[in-house]
Structure 1
Amino acid sequence: MLYGLSYIFTKQATAVASPLALLGWRFLLAFVVMSGLIVVGVIHVSFKGKRLRPLLLVALFDPVLYFIGETFGISHTTASESGVFLACIPVAALLASAWLLHKYPTRLQVIGILITLIGVIVTVLAAGASASLSLIGYLFLLLAVVTYALYSVYVDKASAYTGIEITYIMLTAGAVVFVTMALIEALEHGNPQALFSLPVKHPSFAVAVAYQGIGSSVLALFLSNFAIAQIGVNKTASFIGISTVVSIIAGVLLLGEAFSSAQLIGAAVIICGVYTANNTFHRQKRQSQIEKKSD
């Protein structure tokens, strides 16, 4: 839900600034907020005696490579094309989990994720299909799909770390990389002062950064990491399509965007897919309860 609502704020922010400027401010704020919480003792992190490789790979795949792929992929393609590509993330995560973690999905999980994929594609195309035929754009979007799937796998592998520790390293990496990229972009345009003054001159940009930095980065990333640790990659991946439904509802209610019957059907299919993919979990839980009662 948090990711779905972020699209509204992205539209507001990119109307007055570049995507890299938004990413730089977003991850800088997220890093500062989370560092402040650590300093005052609200949350705790400890990296002593733990292998850093899985954690660094998580941060490399997401946010660094994923957001580079998503940002430049969307900028070089149409909304419908990028939506369809990114809708493939749950399928890629499922395949990566089976290949690298040897955690094979159940038949219901495969069916559910495929149903969700169909629902997202229907919903995206209902908004108006168009093609850019941009090879570089497609490659960036493919990078985003693959790296998000690998992020999901390596979060599972980084079991020695808490969700808070994983999130903090991800935000640190995002701040370092995207602030640097935003500064380089500003210097190329010969106006670095404009980058620093964005939140002051444009209140809508400041609101967008606040939401994405705290809501979509600190909170949503932590929830994602926590979910993968608790219910696994396959079940967590099935929920990705929900952000599409939330973004549509938010667009209709808050931005006055049109809502077609095809989009309604697509949203319903997405919900059915998520339910189907997770139905195995509920069956296993009920079976466990029955076995406990019989004992």
Structure 2
Amino acid sequence: MKNWFIYLKASLAMLFWSFTFIWIKQALITYHPYQIVFMRLVLATVLLFAVIFIFRKREKMEPKDLRYMMMVAFFEPFCYFLGEANGMQFVSPTLGSLIVSTIPLVTALGAWVFLKEKITPLLILGLIISFGGVAVISMAEPEFSGTLKGILLLLVAVFSGMFYAITVRRVTLKYSSLTIVAWQSFFGMIYMLPIFLVFDLKHFSSCQHNWGSMLPVIAMSLFATVGAFLLYTGVIRDIGTVRANIFTNLIPVFTIFLAWIFLDDKITLITVGGVLLTVLGLLLSQLPELKRKLVRGPMDNVPPHGT
């Protein structure tokens, strides 16, 4: 597969995830965070398995791989969401975005330790510059505060994101993105069900449901939970965990411009500088791949599934 198409898929996945910051503001007018993620997972599960059965895309997953997918879904969406949603209540948006933006750095270390993926000096430089760009974007906001509890909860999200990226890579070598994301959504829904029933069922039953809040939830399910994960899973298969994860630094970049378009947020020179740094770091990290006509096979540096 040509490099430009892989990078297009990665960028499109990040754009879909960036839109969730716009849609969630609309959904939160009516629904609580746990309700939103549970509804997203229910809709995604129904849609994905409907596509699998209607278009006969079913792949029989071995029992050991189903157990493995339970672990993948436990890391993300379950643990990641719980850490992020609860942690953001105790820190400023600036500090929160900065902590979450460390995921590519942490993932690079994790992939080197667990997957034996090669980390070149240029890749490390790209990671650092890209993280610096996100830091500059975050520092453009004046508020920078938080509690230890909030920081620890966000670190749960960071390490959950790392373990998700590492664990899902192995199943991408054996199953299609459609199968992986379908089971990931299903198990994520099962994990979220008790939390939804205990904390949010009463409010969900009594709140005034309306299309103004429902449509953003449907959009998040279609584009973020389904579309973005399908694209991103394929990208991990194509270029590896580390290089795929660096693209997540595009999320704050896209979010800035989306907020400018839809929410009338202002863009400052500092913000523009942070965006340029982020993109520069991303380009540097992909430079070795850009020099090749074709991406090397997904088996490079990754042990076969189950070994």
Counterpart code for 1:193: S
- The sequence identity of aligned pairs, in percent, is 22
* 1:143 pairs with one of 156, 165, 169: 156
Task: Give the match for residue 31 of structure 1.
Answer: 45
Task: Give the match for residue 114 of structure 2.
Answer: 100
Counterpart code for 2:52: I
Q: Gaps (5+ residues) in structure 2?
A: 1-14, 297-307
Task: Give the match for residue 240 of structure 2.
Answer: 232
Give how far 1:48 is off.
3.6
Give how far 1:166 is off.
1.3
Matched, 1:110 2:148: no
* CA deviation string 1:113-153 (max 9, x = no partner): 11110111110121233202x12211110011011111111
| SS across alignment from 1:262 | helix
Matched, 1:215 2:223: yes
In the TM superposition, 1:157-196 aligns within 5 A as: 157-158=170-171, 159-187=173-201, 190-194=202-206
- Are 1:46 and 1:165, in contact at CA under 8 Å, matched by a contact in 2? no
Q: Distance in 1 between matches of 2:137 and 2:167?
A: 30
| SS across alignment from 2:119 | coil
Counterpart code for 2:21: Y
Task: Give the match for residue 292 of structure 1.
Answer: none
Give how far 1:234 is off.
1.3
Q: Distance in 2 between matches of 1:64 and 1:286?
A: 35
Task: Give the match for residue 255 of structure 1.
Answer: 263
Matched positions, count? 281
Task: Give the match for residue 168 of structure 2.
Answer: 155
Q: Which deviates more, 53-62 or 236-245?
A: 53-62
Task: Give the match for residue 94 of structure 2.
Answer: 80
- Are 1:156 and 1:228, in contact at CA under 8 Å, matched by a contact in 2? yes
Q: Which deviates more, 232-241 or 123-132?
A: 123-132
| SS across alignment from 2:88 | helix
Q: Distance in 2 between matches of 1:95 and 1:79?
A: 26
Give how far 1:235 is off.
0.9
Counterpart code for 1:147: S
TM value normalised by structure 2:
0.86
Counterpart code for 1:29: L
| SS across alignment from 1:131 | coil
- Are 1:29 and 1:209, in contact at CA under 8 Å, matched by a contact in 2? no
Give how far 1:179 is off.
3.5
Give how far 1:41 is off.
2.1
Q: Which deviates more, 13-22 or 215-224?
A: 13-22
Q: Distance in 1 between matches of 2:103 and 2:228?
A: 17
Counterpart code for 2:288: T
Q: Distance in 1 between matches of 2:176 and 2:19?
A: 26
Q: Distance in 1 between matches of 2:199 and 2:17?
A: 26
Q: Distance in 2 between matches of 1:220 and 1:248?
A: 19
Q: Following superposition, which runs of at least 4 residues in structure 1 exceed 3 angstroms of deviation?
A: 48-54, 284-288
Give how far 1:180 is off.
3.0
| SS across alignment from 1:15 | coil
Counterpart code for 1:85: I
Change (3 A) 1:192 1:238: closer
Change (3 A) 1:182 1:106: same
Counterpart code for 1:151: Y
* CA deviation string 1:197-228 (max 9, x = no partner): 65xx3322111111111100011011111110
Change (3 A) 1:42 1:251: farther
- Are 2:130 and 2:280, in contact at CA under 8 Å, matched by a contact in 1? yes
- Are 1:28 and 1:179, in contact at CA under 8 Å, matched by a contact in 2? no
Please tell me the root mean square deviation across aligned C-alpha atoms, in Å.
1.9
